[in-house]
């Protein structure tokens, strides 16, 4: 038996661009229409209109929290022009969660940018934080009184890799110099946003919120355990998993550690050039582990090792994403169950964990991979937008209710 605390937070996540639909002021939309991305997000899941229905389902599944993101390009479609209608919309979304007893966990940046910001130079600008902070201030002033958990930036390292090093996502850059600049800029933006949010709460005499990032962390496992591969795995952990976190902690800008965990990378170093150091160090190498529909290894024990590596920072951890895309729903339940066991073991070994959020509540637009990968606890029929609760979701719901597995 695996027991979790009675006040544990259980839920699922979405991000605005992946589910809302019609985010036409966003850089992704522009790239999609220009044919620079293979798939068009279009109406996505129509969550912008159907959020009440989706939150009813989350409540039916015994969730007591929900992670969502705010689409910057809706709030500020033109530089300096903020939409009171859209701020009102997100206020209603947050209230819809609270009304159902779902604690909102709100992300401010989840990969997408307004078109105007991307045309100015986005995160490679000299001081991108000055634009980001204006938006953050508007949102936090508007929503602050109903939000206890803020995530400033989702997966900064993933954004950096895909958008500036590998050239897959807008702005499709492949530049080492820009990668370094953007890394520093994201870090600075996070630290300043952290301080700004804290100040706004203080000024408005609200209880201090919990602020963090959502850090994608992978288990880096040497493929063949040569000294060279071990060293490379160590360097990957240090740079990909830990650098952003360590620097944020040094700046006293993390109240908890938001962790997104999916898979492992088998490390087989092909050369010492920086491009060999990316998330998929051993892409295409055969491994006998079961895989999700995108070919990622299913490796629950990696969650344990990632969490144990965080113990030394003495901050509570919040699993803000963990999930699988698959057409085999019993594999989804196996995935959730095995990861929850590893999570529980880490807790037994002294890691304080606030909650577990599955990715994702509903199937959605998986960025450059389109609508094929099915991550949802709830399936979406993209012809009718009908939602169907999957069996795995029901099993997870029981765990959420009982706080035991
Ligand atoms: O869909 C993404 C999400 O936007 C960020 N974390 C990983 C998920 C699955 O790839």
pTM, two decimals, is 0.97
**pLDDT the model gives residue 288:** 86
Strand, helix or coil at 95?
Answer: helix
Average pLDDT over residues 184-212: 98
Among 7-21, 45-59, 182-196, 228-242, which stretch is predicted with the lowest mean pLDDT? Answer: 228-242
Neighbours of 148 (CB within 10 A): 16
Does position 272 have pLDDT exceeding 90, yes or no? no
Percent of the chain residues past pLDDT 70, beyond the cut: 97
- State in Å: Cα 366 to ligand 1 middle: 7
162 lines ligand 1 (CB under 6 A): no
Of 340, 385, 345, residue with least CA distance to 358: 340
CA distance 379 to 377: 7
Distance 316 CA to ligand 1 centre (A): 22
Q: How far is it, in rounded angstroms, from Cα 261 to Cα 7?
A: 22
> Which of 9, 270, 20, 262 has the alpha carbon at shortest distance from 149?
9
Q: Which two tokens stand for residue 74?
A: 């809706």
Using the atom order of ligand 1, give the atom closest to the CA of residue 15: 4
> Quick check: 283 pLDDT over 90?
no
% of the chain with per-residue pLDDT over 90? 93
Reply yes or no on whether the pLDDT at 98 is more than 90.
yes
Element (H, E) at 11: strand 9-13
Q: Is the CB of 28 under 6 A from ligand 1?
A: no
What is the crossing angle of helices 243-250 and 176-203, to 10°? 40
Q: How far apart are CA 400 and CA 147, in angstroms?
A: 22
Is 366's C-beta closer than 6 angstroms to any atom of ligand 1?
yes
pLDDT digits (tens, 9 = 90+) for 338-389: 999 999 999 999 999 999 999 999 999 999 999 999 999 999 999 999 999 9
- Ligand 1 atom nearest 154 alpha carbon: 5
The number of the ligand 1 atom at minimal distance from the alpha carbon of 321 is: 6
For the segment 176-187, what is each residue's pLDDT rounded down to a tens digit?
999 999 999 999
| 349: number of Cβ within 10 Å | 11
What CATH code is assigned to 9-402?
3.20.20.80
* pLDDT digits 0-9 by tens, 10-23: 999 999 999 999 99
317 vs 378: CA distance, rounded Å: 26
Residues carrying an active site annotation:
321
Contact 15 CB / ligand 1 (< 6 Å)? yes
- Segments making up each domain of the chain, as ranges: 9-402
């Amino acid at each position: 038996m695996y027991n979790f605390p009675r006040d544990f937070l259980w839920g699922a996540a979405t991000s605005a661009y992946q589910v809302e639909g019609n985010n036409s002021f966003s850089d992704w939309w522009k790239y999609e229409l220009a044919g620079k991305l293979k798939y068009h997000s279009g109406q996505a899941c129509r969550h912008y209109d159907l959020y009440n229905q989706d939150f009813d389902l989350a409540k039916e599944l015994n969730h007591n929290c929900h992670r969502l993101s705010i689409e910057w390009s809706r709030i500020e479609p033109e530089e300096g022009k903020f939409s009171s209608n859209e701020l009102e919309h997100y206020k209603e979304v947050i209230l819809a969660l609270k009304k159902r007893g779902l604690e909102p966990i709100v992300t401010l940046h989840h990969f997408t940018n307004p078109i105007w910001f991307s045309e100015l130079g986005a995160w490679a600008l000299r001081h991108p934080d000055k634009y980001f902070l204006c938006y953050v201030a508007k949102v936090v002033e508007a929503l602050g009184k109903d939000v206890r958990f803020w995530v400033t930036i989702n997966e900064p390292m993933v954004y950096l890799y895909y958008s500036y090093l590998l050239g897959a996502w807008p702005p499709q850059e492949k530049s080492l110099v820009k990668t370094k600049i953007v890394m520093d800029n994201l870090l600075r933006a996070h630290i300043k946003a952290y301080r700004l949010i804290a100040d706004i709460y203080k000024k408005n005499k609200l209880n201090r919120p919990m602020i963090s990032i959502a850090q994608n962390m992978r288990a880096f496992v040497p493929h063949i355990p040569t000294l060279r591969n071990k060293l490379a795995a160590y360097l990957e952990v240090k740079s990909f998993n830990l650098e952003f976190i360590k620097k944020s902690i040094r700046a006293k800008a993390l109240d908890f550690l938001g962790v997104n965990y999916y898979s492992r990378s088998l490390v087989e170093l092909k050369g010492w050039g920086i491009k060999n150091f990316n998330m998929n160090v051993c892409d295409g190498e055969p491994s006998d582990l079961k895989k999700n529909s995108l070919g990622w290894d299913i490796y629950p024990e990696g969650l344990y090792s990632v969490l144990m590596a965080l113990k030394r920072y003495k901050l509570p951890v919040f699993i803000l994403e963990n999930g699988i895309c698959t057409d085999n729903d019993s594999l989804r339940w196996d995935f959730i169950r095995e990861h929850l066991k590893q999570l529980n073991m880490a807790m037994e070994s002294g890691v304080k964990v606030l909650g577990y959020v599955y990715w994702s509540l509903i199937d959605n637009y998986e960025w450059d991979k389109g609508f094929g990968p099915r991550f949802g606890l709830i399936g979406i029929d993209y012809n009718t937008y009908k939602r169907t609760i999957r069996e795995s979701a029901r099993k997870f719901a029981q765990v959420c209710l009982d706080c035991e597995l």
